[in-house]
Structure 1
Amino acid sequence: MRSNRERTESTRRALLQAARSLFVLKGYGGTSTPEIATAAAITRGALYHHFSDKQDLFRQVLEAEAAAVRDDILAAARPGLSAQAALIAGAEAYLHSMTMPGRTRLLLIEGPATLGAEQALAIDQANAGSTLREGLVEALGMKDVDCDALARLLSAAFDRAALEIDAGADAVEVENAMVWLLRKSLA
């Protein structure tokens, strides 16, 4: 017999998984809440019990995706690595993590289009963006560069690289170019 908490978590998980699949397949605009509820095998009322609206559900899907990317970066940039080695390991982990089917579309296309650039950027800054900034601060120390500005520029380059890979570019070539760019930024 499952507790109320276990049932609640199971329902939330089912909704998030169903919503993610549909948002990847059809985009935010092409997905309806009745479709999500049906795919999750729950009622629309239950959906609205857990999420205030479709945009709230979408935001939480994005937050989960962004957190998964951050976790992959942190796992790769393990303690004991030099700051530069950790940044490079994190860069490679970011690009690899973004190859999860649908992730690039959700985080880099649907997210900004649905939530707006400011909210999508805030989600990134709370996750992968913060790991990049922190790594740059540690690696560059007191060099004569604004680490916040550099982090934003490199983040945009990483996002563009993920889009290139998603569009069919050679992943190894793109990753090599990004690692080269990162090394040059740290020199």
Structure 2
Amino acid sequence: MQERRPRITNEARSHAMRSALLEAGRALFLAKSYAETSTPEIVAAAGVTRGALYHHFEDKKALFQAVVEAEAEAVARSIGASSVDEPTAIGALIKGGEAFVTAMNEPGRTRLLLLDGPAVLGPTTMRTIDERHARKALREGIEEAIANGALPALPVGALTSQLSAAFDAAALGIEMGDDADDHRAALGALIEGLTQGKK
């Protein structure tokens, strides 16, 4: 008697198609940039129809935003994993900064999140995405450091913005050929320097 294969539900099929589109879009956006990637390339790489693309995403921009969100989430996971066992709040901030630089060093990711993302989605949307991920992790680390007395009671929002900008500048510098260890050392010194203002 022939064994029956389990039926694939419509929900599972739909999830598989969406995942394939995200994976194909990610690979192409990282390798080529948003502007250089066409929707026919995406659907061919995903092995789905053009109709499937527009069933799951309004357009290429919507797919791009979903990829950006997923990449931002991956960076935040790296930050969280790096500092989870760090015994001090300052150490956790430094480890988090190092993890950010390392995570952003994945080929194409800096361009995707710091150049193409703001250009395609706009700075407001990108900030909103960032506030759900890496910026959120940074803000929570700063809040903990202030609460523990490791940092002076500076305005959290402003300090988060300024450190976030420093981390982004480091990632962009490394993307353009700067030495990554130099940037890690500078970021660590920057965070350590904040403790000098503690009263």
- TM-score scaled by structure 2? 0.89
The equivalent residue for 2:95 is 89
1:71-128 superposed Cα distances (whole Å, 9 cap, x missing partner):
0011111056221111111111111111111110100010000001111111111100
Equivalent in the alignment of 2:177: 168
Structure 1 101/87 Cα, relative in aligned 2: closer, same or farther at 3 Å? same
Separation in 2, partners of 1:144, 1:79: 24
CA distance in structure 2 between the partners assigned to 1:186 and 1:147 by the alignment:
14
Residues 75 and 104, structure 2, Cα contact 8 Å, conserved in 1: yes
Question: Could you list the runs of 5+ residues in structure 2 that have no partner in the other structure?
Answer: 1-5
Distance 1:92 1:19 in 2: 27
Does residue 101 in structure 1 map to residue 107 in structure 2? yes
Q: Larger Rg: 1 or 2?
A: 2
Does the 8 Å CA contact 1:139/1:186 hold for their aligned counterparts?
no
Q: Does 1:154 align with 2:163?
A: yes
Give 2:23's aligned residue. Answer: 17
Distance 1:80 1:171 in 2: 22
Structure 1 residue runs of 5 or longer lacking an equivalent are none
Counterpart CA distance in 2 for 1:72 and 1:19 is: 22
Number of equivalenced pairs: 187
Question: What SS does the corresponding residue of 2:154 show, helix, strand or coil?
Answer: coil
Cα RMSD between the aligned structures? Answer: 1.5
Deviation of residue 144 (structure 1)?
3.7
Q: TM-score, normalised by structure 1?
A: 0.94
Distance in 1, Cα, partners of 2:44 & 2:121: 24
- The answer on whether the counterparts of 2:83 and 2:95 sit within 8 Å (CA) in structure 1 is yes
Structure 1 segment 1-187 matched on structure 2, within 5 A: 1=6, 2-79=8-85, 81-141=87-147, 143-187=152-196
Aligned AA (1:162): A
